[in-house]
Structure 1
Amino acid sequence: MHIKRGSSLNLTLGVAYMGWEAIIDMHKQFNHTTLLGKQLDNNTWKFKWNFGHLNSEHTIDITLMQPINDVEFIISPYSKVVSSLEEALALNDWKLFSPSVIHSQFRESIWEIVHTANISRERKLKWFAACYPEKQKLSKVASQLLQSEYTIGIIGQTTNTLEEASEEQGIWKYVDVTNIFSNAAFEFDYDIFRKYVSYKLKILEEYNGPEYFKLISNFESNKLIQSIIFQNYSTSRMKGKFTNALDLQGPLDLICCHDCRAHSSVTDFVLRKTCSSCGGRLRPSMTLAGEKFKKKNWVNVVTEFEKAELIFCIDCDVSVPYFSKLMEKTNGNVIILSTTKQLIEIKKNTRTEHYIEIDPNKFLSEINMLLSL
């Protein structure tokens, strides 16, 4: 085969031509450069750079500077053949480029070089996405977190794992507790209401929240998240993990009188005492199902949604009507992390991304790893 000087050919990424394959394609604005590799008979590789043009079909248009023969494939008078990735990368200022495609056989080796390099986190995330295409959603979320000027986190369920592991569930294993946190239960079945709330208060005494609380707190400390909102009830201990924590429903461990709203203690509530001021029944000050949110809580949460450029919803119940109303208040991007498969319909916000049936602890831990690069 003979091709004249100045002729063009087309080389598809990952497909060998005369033994040469595209290992890395990189771009910087409208400039492209490609590292080519050739596997030798002894299974070692040699590498060289081509400064060709990558078209929209991920193929390289190469202008040959001299004829090809069966022995050598010379692409450019400026290319140099080397025998290792490290040497090859040293020949090009790759730190200024972002990768488009990386040969699957070299992804881990390239990432080992890149992740310790002195480049910005944003560019490292792009290299991570190219090296691990199956984890692109992680790098995308991490990039959004870095770029957002105001991010809020909404925390939904916080005690599922603890309840399942508790040895003191007793009768609650056999009772439908779905509607116990309701105004109806308080009014018409106060004894069951009080017993169940007392049980919850007991198991939450030393509870610091799910594992991912530490990660969210770390994001907040590093000014990556500006506020935390508890969708369901909170406790003083859980809220204390964050600098700026807001309630929607309210705290479970702040006890008051249902009638006069005078404050009381958890001990008085558990011991079945009544209000010392008016004799009324005691209850948590949180909003129960069937009641309206406290105006101050609702206004504060809406204000956060209006300011947010990025919203993390972690194990939230997105099926409740007020959730859609909150989503209408934001122009930001919304990321929903859920351990369960939920029917999610948020039609007015096209920037919503759903990651369902995942472990928030693992997902956020990997995000934290990427942000610490």
Structure 2
Amino acid sequence: MNKAMGNDWQTIISLGAEGGSITLLGKEQHPGQWVFKKAVNEMNFDDLEDETFQPTESTEEVRTLKSPLSNLGNEATSWEKAIKLLDHYPWPMLNPREIHPAFRKRVWIALQKEVKERYGDRIDSYRLNKWSKLCLPEYAPKIVTLSTWLKNSTHTTVLTGAGMSTESNIPDFRSKEGWWNNIDPRTVATTDALRNNYDLFHEFYSMRINGLRECTPHKGHEILADWEHKGHIQAIATQNVDGFHYAAGNENVYELHGSIHKFRCENCAKSAEEEDFLSKSNCKYCGGKLRPGVVLFGEMLPEGSWSESLSHFRKSDLVIVIGTSLEVYPASQLPQMTNGKTVYINVEVNAHNHNFDLIIEGKAGEVMKLVDELV
């Protein structure tokens, strides 16, 4: 019921506890133009159901209010001023009861700002979930939680794997229709194959290179780039070699397994061109075999990318892992190097992923699009 006290005054926000309430009222004078005022009933903060809450001067002020719905002054003619009417009270810590449908997103944005500036971790997930159910009924609680953590984080690092790129239609070399349905790529992408079965090695990577020409970064890659530009994330460590994070616009990217777009001689390590590799030419300097600049099974990770990634994980208060089974060592150990919150996003969740603070099952792009709508 949104109508309150007649005269077209409607409830914008109703919150409180068993012993009383605070209500922000609004009246639409012209389409899109509202005037607001607050109504305060006697409050009993002993009923807030939040043992972690510490009284402040503002709570003492509310305790002294004894006249039900008598404090109706302080009209506001803008939403920014209307929210300030509540700032005398610890309103994020109260129990939300009703929120006007037209103001749900604006209330959520104001709540996020107030929580970040004044309360931080003192507002628990239980209470945030109560707010989110009223403000964002169309979003799953886990999406809301991740968006909240992301907005409040001061240093966020992302780790991505193959599941991040499958939505870009990168060919599945192990599918029933694929050329490699009878060969495990993990037996081809090895130093042994490079040295002793170069024809198979070359054919495999030539197919991967040509297949990537038909693929582009998807919406999830673009969202990560946008988050970096807005300061929501500080670094991306990726197990992928496709270069899509750079192509989408990210700058602080650490390619743990190298890049399939760089080429060198296996013998003398001199750089080479893509067309030289695809044409199966030998190194023009020493005659050695050419290879893409990816990390093969049996090789060490690039020292620079690994050390920089490790540094970011250690100082992160939020780590988001997207689209990796975490089965490949040592990249699988990176999420354990943080003391911050950890989030796992993947289509499939295995038993060994259950040590994360938050697990979201779903496609990377779809999950990130929902989170992005709330950030």
Name the counterpart of 1:71: none
Q: 2:104·2:135 contact (CA, 8 Å) conserved in 1?
A: no
Structure 1, residues 29-63: CA drift from partner, whole Å, max 9, x if none?
xx972559xxxxxxxxxx976333262669xxxxx
Question: Do structure 1's residue 163 and structure 2's residue 170 form an aligned pair?
Answer: yes
- The one of 224, 233, 246 aligned to 1:239: 246
Name the counterpart of 2:179: 172
Helix, strand or coil at the partner of 1:33:
strand
Identical positions, percent = 19
Helix, strand or coil at the partner of 2:226:
helix
- The one of 145, 148, 168 aligned to 2:150: 145
Structure 1, residues 242-271: CA drift from partner, whole Å, max 9, x if none?
121111111111011111111111111111
Q: Displacement, 1:171? A: 4.5
Q: Which has the higher helix share?
A: 2
Name the counterpart of 1:128: 132
Name the counterpart of 1:119: 110
Question: Do structure 1's residue 353 and structure 2's residue 360 form an aligned pair?
Answer: no
Q: Displacement, 1:326? A: 2.2
Cα distance between partner residues in 1 of 2:48 and 2:325: 42
Structure 1, residues 272-320: CA drift from partner, whole Å, max 9, x if none?
1111112111111221112111222221221221222211111123133
Cα distance between partner residues in 2 of 1:314 and 1:183: 28
Q: CA RMSD in A?
A: 3.9
Letter of the structure 2 residue corresponding to residue 221 of structure 1: H
Q: 2:159·2:238 contact (CA, 8 Å) conserved in 1?
A: yes
- The one of 21, 26, 34 aligned to 1:33: 21
Cα distance between partner residues in 2 of 1:314 and 1:322: 16
Classify 1:116/1:304 alpha carbon distance in 2 versus 1 (closer, same or farther; 3 Å).
closer
Question: Do structure 1's residue 98 and structure 2's residue 98 form an aligned pair?
Answer: no
Cα distance between partner residues in 2 of 1:229 and 1:91: 40
Name the counterpart of 2:271: 263
Cα distance between partner residues in 2 of 1:284 and 1:249: 11
Letter of the structure 2 residue corresponding to residue 53 of structure 1: N
Classify 1:188/1:99 alpha carbon distance in 2 versus 1 (closer, same or farther; 3 Å).
same
Q: 1:273·1:282 contact (CA, 8 Å) conserved in 2?
A: yes
Q: Displacement, 1:337? A: 0.9
The higher radius of gyration belongs to 1
The residue correspondences of 1:191-340 to structure 2 (distance < 5 A) are 191-205=199-213, 207-235=215-243, 238-240=245-247, 241-340=249-348
Q: 1:258·1:280 contact (CA, 8 Å) conserved in 2?
A: yes
Helix, strand or coil at the partner of 1:292:
coil
Structure 1 stretches of 5 or more lacking a match?
Answer: 1-22, 37-46, 59-64, 66-74, 81-89
Classify 1:207/1:214 alpha carbon distance in 2 versus 1 (closer, same or farther; 3 Å).
same
Cα distance between partner residues in 2 of 1:165 and 1:225: 29
Q: Displacement, 1:173? A: 5.8
Helix, strand or coil at the partner of 2:373:
helix
Q: Displacement, 1:207? A: 3.3
Structure 1, residues 150-188: CA drift from partner, whole Å, max 9, x if none?
11111211432313599x996526333431322233233
- The one of 363, 366, 370 aligned to 1:366: 370
Report the number of matched residues.
308
Q: 1:208·1:238 contact (CA, 8 Å) conserved in 2?
A: no
Letter of the structure 1 residue corresponding to residue 102 of structure 2: E
Q: 1:319·1:343 contact (CA, 8 Å) conserved in 2?
A: no
Classify 1:170/1:213 alpha carbon distance in 2 versus 1 (closer, same or farther; 3 Å).
same
Q: 1:342·1:356 contact (CA, 8 Å) conserved in 2?
A: no
Name the counterpart of 1:61: none
Q: 1:25·1:35 contact (CA, 8 Å) conserved in 2?
A: yes
Q: TM-score, normalised by structure 2?
A: 0.69
Cα distance between partner residues in 2 of 1:216 and 1:92: 33
Q: Displacement, 1:116? A: 3.5
Helix, strand or coil at the partner of 1:355:
strand
Helix, strand or coil at the partner of 1:216:
helix
Helix, strand or coil at the partner of 2:330:
helix
Structure 2 stretches of 5 or more lacking a match?
Answer: 1-12, 25-37, 51-65, 73-81, 117-127
Cα distance between partner residues in 1 of 2:300 and 2:235: 23
